[in-house]
Structure 1
Amino acid sequence: MKRVLIVKVTSLGDIVQALPVVADIKRAFPEVQVDWAADEAFAEVAQWCRGVDRVLFAPLRRFKKARRWADFKSIAASISALRACRYDYILDIHGVYKSAIIAFLARSSRRIGYQSQDLGERGAAFAYTGRFGPRPRCNAWHGMRISAGEALGYEAEGPAVYNLHLPEPVRPLFRGEGAPVAALFHATSKDDKKWPVTHWMVVGRELTQRGFRVVLPWGSETERVVAEQIAAQVSGAAVLSRMSVTEIAQMIDACALVVGTDTGFVHLAHALQKPTVMIFVATSPSHCGVEAPFRSISVGDGFSVPPICDVLEAIDYVYGGLRAVTIQQGSAAA
């Protein structure tokens, strides 16, 4: 086997959590070339993965919104790049029309996708010459690893390996030295996933009392206004300037702690091995959550608003627990 194409088009958190499939494939087939097809908006995320050899992308989301001629030409050019080589396998681990179309246009006699009941859009089945087994009874992220292994004939073993390598920041991320930085990702794409603003204020004040510098990123004017409301009630908190995806990733990598809702950047914090607390209000933590001993934890049941005390306990677990493990490792090495 020489070439494999993985199709996972959107969104940020989903692409991040799919990246361990690359490490699994490279472990089973060290010489294989692994390419990735994504929407242009998230292509850089796949490019950060050391195991991805080539990222194919097009402005699919932008074209859907604006229907601009320049974007149509970019899509046409991306199809030529997509068909430039033949793949031994194409794995569509997205399962919707746009991912199926990409799989169908790429050159391969083995296009593998989910069974009909597991597809996000059942019509996507037209593109596939083979199917993954039934969706495993585990979280979505490990399920992708199992499905890819079934298709290519290996077992997904061990913890997820993301192999992320970010570009170096072009300027210092934070002014001053000393206090560890905690990023609060209060924003999310859906209102029902949000945690109350007053809860964020309490957590921000508690983190400040514990010696953290609190920073608040945002992506829209509405989110900026909320960030300023939180910062006004948290001594020393900083509302960051608007940043690109890469700049936010670099900011996360420089933080000592990340607390946020079920959103893509908090999944990225987990992948970057930062102490991470993910808050679930309306989505399933068992299906979409993060977990790593003394480092990442999901809070909430997905049906109600988690209380502040649960989030503070989770912060103690991931930050205090990680420091304890580090001290123990240092003592053992000495």
Structure 2
Amino acid sequence: MKRILIVKVTSLGDIIEAQPVVADIKRAFPGIKVDWAADEMFADVARWNTGLDRVLCAPLRRFKKARSLADFRSIAASIAELRAERYDVVIDIHGVYKSAIIAFLTRSSRRLGYRSHDLGERGAAFAYTGRLAPRLAGNAWHGMRVSVSEALGYPLEGPPVFNLQVPSGSTLPPAGVAPLAMLFHATSKDDKKLPATHWAAIAREVISRGYEVVLPWGSPAERVEASEIAALVPEASLLPPLDVAEIAQMIDRAALVVGVDTGFVHLAHALQKRTIMIFVATSPELFGIESPFRSITIGDGRSVPPVEEVLRAIEYVHTEPGAAAAGDASVATA
């Protein structure tokens, strides 16, 4: 094989967590070229992967909302670019209509996708000439690595390698003297949120450890929520409005990230930051993160975890691996 295409179109957290398949493939097949197809909204995240050779993208989400002629032309141009390369294999690890259409439009005679019961949209099956093995029960991110390794016939080795390099920026607030901690309180769904009082207790604990605490936000409603937390903990500060790349640059600067199940917390984990991901209404078994003494998932995905559980997690990610007995670093995990 000389070149393959991975299709994973959205969203932020999913694309981040899928990036280790690139390092896996390149380890198994030295010299192979690996391309990625994504929605334009998330393409920069894939471009941060130093192992990818090319990122193909189109404004699919934007066109669905606005139906503009300019976006239609961009999509047409992206199709031409997609068909200009003859891929040995195309692997769709998304499994919905839009990803299947991308796979189908390639000139590849080998297009692999999930089995019907594993697809997000069963009609996507029309695009595939072969099927991936049934998805494993358990963590979805590990499952993607397993699916691709089995499809291409190589053994899966070692922990996930993300190889993400966030470009530096010059428009960020100046760095302070204290190490930076980011608290990602915001999420698109209300049932995934923690109360402001929880965040205030978390912020106080983090500040007591010598961190500068900042609160990112992305909409007027999220700014109001961040202000409520800051009102309870005046030492915490609101960040100015930042775009995705700028928030990523702040994460790259941070020493600790605590947040609910959002794409930016997945990015912190991928960038090897001390990371705590809190699950309130989504499955920690399927979408959690884990790296010994660095990243941890807490919560059962059915209720708001107690503050004490978050505080134990903060202690855990500050424990040196060889410095404590196993019982000293214990923490409730999902």
How far does the alpha carbon of each residue in 1:81-102 deviate from its partner, in whole angstroms, 9 at most, with x for none? 1111100000000000000000
How far does the alpha carbon of each residue in 1:265-295 deviate from its partner, in whole angstroms, 9 at most, with x for none? 0000000000000000011111100000000
Structure 1 equivalent of residue 165 of structure 2: 165
Name the amino acid aligned to 2:233: V
187-196 vs 9-18, greater mean Cα deviation: 187-196
Structure 2 equivalent of residue 190 of structure 1: 189
Q: Distance in 2 between matches of 1:74 and 1:323?
A: 53
Q: Distance in 2 between matches of 1:173 and 1:276?
A: 22
1:193–1:262 CA contact under 8 A, matched in 2: yes
Structure 2 equivalent of residue 329 of structure 1: none
Distance 1:297 1:242, change over 3 A: same
How far does the alpha carbon of each residue in 1:13-33 deviate from its partner, in whole angstroms, 9 at most, with x for none? 000000000000000011111
Name the amino acid aligned to 1:3: R
Q: Distance in 2 between matches of 1:141 and 1:125?
A: 21
49-58 vs 195-204, greater mean Cα deviation: 195-204
Structure 2: which 5+ residue stretches go unaligned? 325-334
How far does the alpha carbon of each residue in 1:61-97 deviate from its partner, in whole angstroms, 9 at most, with x for none? 1111111111111111111111111000000000000
TM-score (ref. length: structure 1): 0.94
> Residue 235 of structure 1: CA displacement?
2.7
Name the amino acid aligned to 1:208: I
Paired residues, what number? 324
Structure 2 matches for 1:187-226, cutoff 5 A?
A: 187-226=186-225
Name the amino acid aligned to 2:205: E
**Runs of 4 or more off by more than 2 Å in structure 1?**
171-176, 319-325
Q: Distance in 2 between matches of 1:232 and 1:320?
A: 30
2:91–2:113 CA contact under 8 A, matched in 1: yes
1:256–1:275 CA contact under 8 A, matched in 2: yes
2:181–2:256 CA contact under 8 A, matched in 1: yes
Structure 2 matches for 1:296-315, cutoff 5 A?
A: 296-315=295-314
Structure 2 equivalent of residue 332 of structure 1: none
Structure 2 equivalent of residue 261 of structure 1: 260
Structure 2 equivalent of residue 316 of structure 1: 315
Structure 2 equivalent of residue 98 of structure 1: 98
Structure 1 equivalent of residue 329 of structure 2: none
CA RMSD after TM alignment: 1.4
Q: Distance in 2 between matches of 1:294 and 1:161?
A: 17
299-308 vs 209-218, greater mean Cα deviation: 209-218
Structure 1 equivalent of residue 291 of structure 2: 292
Q: Distance in 2 between matches of 1:220 and 1:37?
A: 28
241-250 vs 104-113, greater mean Cα deviation: 241-250
> Residue 323 of structure 1: CA displacement?
10
Among all aligned residue pairs of Structure 1 and Structure 2, give the percentage whose two residues are the same amino acid.
Answer: 69
1:93–1:144 CA contact under 8 A, matched in 2: yes
> Residue 45 of structure 1: CA displacement?
0.5
Structure 2 matches for 1:59-138, cutoff 5 A?
A: 59-138=59-138
TM-score (ref. length: structure 2): 0.94
Q: Distance in 2 between matches of 1:239 and 1:50?
A: 32
Distance 1:150 1:237, change over 3 A: same
Q: Distance in 2 between matches of 1:166 and 1:30?
A: 25
36-45 vs 149-158, greater mean Cα deviation: 149-158
2:7–2:99 CA contact under 8 A, matched in 1: yes
Name the amino acid aligned to 1:12: L
> Residue 172 of structure 1: CA displacement?
5.2
2:37–2:55 CA contact under 8 A, matched in 1: yes
